[in-house]
Each structure stands twice: as C-alpha cells, then as structure tokens.
C-alpha cells in the first residue's frame, strides 16, 4: 500500500503566494522533496516533514531527474503524504511529466497542485498586464535552447509570433536571445523588462529595449530572472518606470 | 486620503487555489468588487466585506469597463482596503491595465496579487505538463478574435508557432479556431483537450484531434473552458485518458 504524491507548485518565491491547498498539504506532509530554489520560509510551512533537497541548478539534468523519479517512488512506498515541491507551477518548465510518468509506471496515486508561475509574478511586480486589449492578445512563455541553430528556430518562431514573450531560464543568454530576435525581424526598439527574484523583497527590475538587451552585464544576476518582451512593457505607469533601473 | 486597492487573482475556481495573500486580503477587505465568475465559497473568505458584482460575461465590454474603473476609484475614496477580485490571474485576459491606468490617474495606491490562471489549472487537471523536454519548449496563451480575417492572423500566428497553445474564451468559436489552424497548416491529427470549469468538482474534460474539434456541440458548455492544443496532450497517461470524454 503506497502513499499519495502531490506535485505542488511553490510559486515564484514569496511564501504567501503559495495556494491555500499547497499550504495545507505541506502542513500534512510526511516528507517534502523540494527544488533548490524553494525559499526557507516556504519550507517552514511543513514543520513536521522530513525535507529533502533534490533540486538541480544548471547542468547534469538527465541523471538528476532519473534519481529524483526513483526517490519519489521510494518515498511513496514508505510515507502517506509525499509532497514534491517545485518552484513556480509544476506544469511549466518544471519537468513534471517525467515524474508523472515514473509515478504512473509504479502505480502510485498522485495529484498536481498548480502554482503561481514566475511570469505572472513578474507582471504583478511590474504592474503591467501581459495581455492588453488592442495591444496583446497572445503571450508566449518559452525557454531558449542552447546549441545548434536549427534548434534555435523552435523557440524563436514562438517568441516572434506572440504579442508578449516571457523567457524563462534565459538570463545567461541575453546576447544570443537579443541577436536571434533582431535577426528574426523584431524591432530594435521593442521594450524589454527583466525581473529577477519576482515577488521577493530583494527583487530587482530593469527596463531597456531589445537593441540594448545584449549589453546587460549578466554577472549581475543574483537569482532566477524572467525577461518580458513586447509593447505591453511600455505601458507601465511613469511612477513604476521611474523605479526601474535602465540599461542603455 | 484614499485607501489602497488590491487587484487580486481569484484563481481558476476552487477556493483553496487562492493564494495565502489573497485570502488574507479578502479577510481584511472593506469592500470586494468581483467578477461574475468568482465562486461563492471564494467570496465567503471575505465575510465582513461589502461585495459588489461588477463582472461582465459577453458583450458590452467597453462601457462596463469604464463603469468598473469609476467604481474602483470611488471605493478607494471611502474605504481603507479595496479588493478587486478577478477570475484567474489579473494580468492574463483580465483587463487589469485599464483599471491600473484609472487608479494611477486618480493617484490611488494599488498592488497586484497574482493568481492561478485557468491554463495551469487545466494542465493540473489533465495531469499533462504544458512544456516537456524534447516536445514543447514554448506555450502560448491566447484568445481568438471575432471578426475580420486580418485580425484573425494575429492570434493564429502565435497559435501556430508555439509548441503548446492554450485558448481562453474560445469555446464559442471552436469551428472557426479549428478551421483557421487547419488552413494555417497545423496537422489534422494534432491532439486537443478541452477543460471546462478547471479545478472545480463539476469540471469536465474532453479529448479529440484538431480535425474533429469543429464538430463539438458548443451548446453543451456549462462554464468557462480552455482549449489545450499540442503534442503534449497525447502524453497523458492511459488511465487519465480513459476518464476523458471522446469527441470524434
């Protein structure tokens, strides 16, 4: 008789942006397997649970993921309530499908609890709606691919076609992203905002244009960041704009 | 001296998918201006607040929106804590920018609290990750436009370019959406899932292919629905698939 596994979105960072359901499950959890990015005060919502950091940040993904899958199945065999806590939303850039497949193959009951994804936290922080009547009827969330050019075309097409594009895990590739978008025909004056550590007290925001994006000093990064590209960014109120750091 | 306005995401429907912050603000609210779609048990989280339904469902958008903007400003002039409760996330298809602009113009302090958007609730319900390694690196959220063909091209390009596309407010236009996508070159066998009332006990799900989408009887709709299109849909586990109603 196995326990049940909950794939739970931990949200963008702020502990009070967890859902009520996530908080209830954490308080009832026997064990919590969490990503490296999950904040301490989020984990504090599971005072009685054993906590295991399984997160990976950069590199060695495949091996690590297989190991996580095995740990999840093993945890369900010896615990009633297993929470797999993932940054943001489990179903967006969270590699949930691999864990779902492993749990299904092992006939373990599971449930997915959605979370606030970083793009929506960034929109809230910027006070800019990602869709806007007459300006943006579509928004793409995407992650750029390292490597060969024909692979680049996959994300590029989606980024060019959407009215608003939000890049996840792109902070290390600003120059490549900017160059690909410019070559693809995106206007150099397209407004861009970068939000680092969205929703957290130490969040930082920058605004620039696509033309200047490549010049940004990536050594400055101190946490996960999303890049928001599109005309909606320019609709930020002047007082909000004034708070942002300019890149030029 | 004005109060503060909180533009708060009410999430997809289930009351326990509100964030902890949203629940705290609702309990402290003097007045709650809410969309028509917000559930009763969500509103019950604000027992002391005056509740005003300002939602609009279909039609007469512009007039209604200007009226809501005015009401928000007026509410802030006579209350300390004003919650503007919007279905899903305020920054996705929530027309938040118009309210933000009105609040800024009236020099009223405001804050945006993100919420779980319907697409993520649908992914959780379907147990299908919207992005998947090797299959989907981009996901577009979009809403189809009524009317002229040159306007259709705007959403169509974004829907065709993304690996996964999620349509909001498209349930009344299944035939037009399917036809446009097929004409645009999307393969007829592209898997499609429809999730109505995502996250709620009476949620319903269907699965089909793009070729058969147009045949679906829209009279059957009983609540808001999202349409999820893309190869990721086909990765649903067999036991999940078995629960869905087939359209063919």
Burial of A41 (0-12, 13-18, 19+ CB in 10 A): exposed
Nearest to A126 by CA among A34, A231, A212, A228: A228
CA distance A17 to B115: 8
SS3 B36: coil
Is the alpha carbon torsion for B35, B36, B41, B45 positive or negative?
positive
- Domain identity same for B180 and B228: yes
- Report ipTM (2 d.p.): 0.94
- Domain identity same for B56 and B94: yes
How many Cβ atoms are within 10 Å of B236's Cβ, its own excluded? 22
CATH of the domain at A234: 3.30.950.10
Helix axes B149-161, B174-183, angle to 10 degrees: 70
- Domain identity same for A90 and A127: no
Is the alpha carbon torsion for A174, A180, A182, A187 positive or negative?
negative
Instruction: Tell me which chain B residues have a C-beta less than 8 angstroms from the C-beta of A17.
Output: 19-21, 113-114
- The residue of B11, B45, B91 whose CB has the most chain A CBs within 10 angstroms, and thus the best one to mutate to test that interface, is B91
Higher pLDDT pick, A111 / A144? A111
Q: Give the domain-ending residue among B93, B113, B133.
A: B113
Mean pLDDT of chain A: 90
Burial of B239 (0-12, 13-18, 19+ CB in 10 A): exposed
- Alpha helices (H) in B52-127, listed in sequence order: 61-78, 96-105, 118-126
Kindly report, residue by residue over A198-209, the tens digit of the pLDDT: 999 999 999 999
- The verdict on a CB contact (< 8 Å) between A162 and B163 is no
- Domain identity same for B86 and B167: no
Q: Give the domain-ending residue among B70, B86, B113.
A: B113
Beta bridge partners of B34: B53, B85
- Stretch A110-118: mean pLDDT: 98
Strand B50-53, strand B110-113: pairing = unpaired
The size of the A-B interface in CB pairs under 8 A is 215
Beta bridge partners of A110: A5
- Domain identity same for A105 and A138: no
Q: What is the largest CA-CA distance in chain B?
A: 60
Q: Compute the nearest-CA separation of A221 from chain B (Å).
A: 23
Q: Give the domain-ending residue among B60, B95, B113.
A: B113
- Domain identity same for A63 and A163: no
| Number of domains making up chain B | 2
- Domain identity same for B122 and B187: yes
- Domain identity same for B81 and B14: yes
For residue B238, the model assigns a pLDDT of: 67
CATH of the domain at A103: 3.40.1010.10
- Domain identity same for B64 and B155: no
Domain that holds residue B181: 118-246
Q: Are B167 and B226 in contact (CB under 8 A)?
A: yes
The question of whether B56 is a catalytic residue gets the answer yes
- The verdict on a CB contact (< 8 Å) between B17 and A21 is yes
Kindly report, residue by residue over A152-185, the tens digit of the pLDDT: 678 999 999 999 999 999 888 899 999 999 999 9
> Residue B185: left (phi > 0), alpha (psi -120 to 50), or beta?
left
Closest-CA residue of B relative to A21 is B16
Q: Are A197 and A13 in contact (CB under 8 A)?
A: yes
- Domain identity same for A126 and A228: yes
- Domain identity same for A131 and A30: no
- The verdict on a CB contact (< 8 Å) between B157 and A161 is yes
**A218 band by pLDDT with thresholds 50, 70 and 90:** low
- Domain identity same for B109 and B125: no
Beta bridge partners of A195: A205, A226
Beta bridge partners of A168: A226
Per residue of chain B (248 residues), what is the pLDDT tens digit? Answer: 789 999 999 999 999 999 999 999 999 999 999 998 899 999 999 999 999 998 765 445 555 889 999 999 999 999 999 999 999 999 999 999 999 999 999 999 999 999 999 999 999 999 999 999 889 999 999 998 655 555 677 899 999 999 999 999 998 889 999 999 999 999 999 999 999 999 999 999 999 999 999 888 666 677 889 999 999 999 887 667 677 776 66
């Amino acid at each position: 008789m196995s326990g049940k596994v909950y794939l739970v979105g931990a949200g963008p960072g702020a502990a009070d942006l967890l859902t009520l359901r996530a908080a209830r499950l954490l308080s009832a959890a026997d064990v919590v397997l969490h990503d490296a990015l999950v904040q301490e005060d989020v984990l504090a919502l599971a005072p009685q649970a054993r906590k295991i950091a399984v997160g990976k940040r950069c590199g060695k993904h495949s091996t690590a993921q297989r190991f996580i899958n095995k740990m999840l199945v093993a945890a369900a065999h010896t615990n009633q309530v297993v929470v797999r806590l993932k940054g943001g939303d489990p179903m967006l850039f969270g590699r949930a499908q691999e864990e779902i497949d492993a749990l299904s193959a092992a006939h373990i009951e599971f449930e997915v609890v959605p979370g606030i994804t970083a793009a929506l936290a960034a929109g809230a922080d910027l006070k800019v709606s990602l869709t806007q009547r007459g300006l943006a009827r579509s928004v793409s969330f995407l992650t750029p691919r390292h490597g060969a050019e024909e692979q680049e075309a996959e994300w590029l097409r989606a980024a060019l076609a959407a009215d608003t594009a939000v890049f996840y895990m792109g902070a290390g590739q600003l120059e490549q992203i900017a160059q690909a978008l410019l070559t693809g025909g995106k206007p150099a004056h397209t407004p861009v905002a970068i939000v680092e550590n969205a929703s957290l007290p130490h969040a930082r925001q920058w605004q620039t244009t696509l033309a200047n994006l490549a010049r940004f000093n990536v050594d400055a990064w101190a946490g996960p960041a999303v890049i928001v590209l599109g005309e909606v960014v320019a609709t930020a109120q002047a007082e909000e704009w004034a708070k942002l750091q300019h890149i030029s």
